[in-house]
Amino acid sequence: MSLSANHTDPLQRLRMRTTDRLAVVTVMGGGVGAVCGGFLGGQLSGRQYLAERAHRLPTTVQGWFFYQKWKNYRVILGAMRGATKPGPSSKLRSRRTSHRHGRIAYNQAA
């Protein structure tokens, strides 16, 4: 493999040193994870809000206004929680969480 005039170091790729590349990949990976987690967390919060209030949906225009207003608040909070939560979503994890006294405990949220 020949080296061009611009590249003197064979380990240098994308015109960046290894430490710089590692920092960029780490930050970009964290950003992509935060965006995906925020999206999934917001969706989950919106569906949970609907499920919790499905038995008493609003009937007036003012009632629907406040329903959507509070749903938006809950979706934003759920998205922030999902964006900052470490690891994969709870829906992607195994349902079995631990063995206690010979019985299998299942996660109620999943």
d(CA 108, CA 94): 12
pLDDT of residue 96: 52
pLDDT at 4 (0 to 100): 53
At 71 the pLDDT is 96
Determine how many CB atoms are found less than 10 A away from the CB of residue 104. Answer: 10
pTM for the model: 0.64
Per-residue pLDDT tens listing for the chain (110 residues): 444 555 566 666 677 888 888 999 999 999 999 999 999 999 999 999 999 999 999 999 999 999 999 999 999 999 999 999 887 655 555 555 555 555 555 555 54
Helices 18-52 and 61-84 cross at an angle (nearest 10°) of: 150
Report the candidate in 41, 47, 48 with the shortest Cα–Cα distance to residue 78: 41
3-state secondary structure 15-77: CECHHHHHHHHHHHHHHHHHHHHHHHHHHHHHHHHHHHCHHHCCCCHHHHHHHHHHHHHHHHH
Q: What is the pLDDT of residue 53?
A: 93
Which residues are CB-neighbours of 60 under 8 A, at least 6 positions away? Answer: none
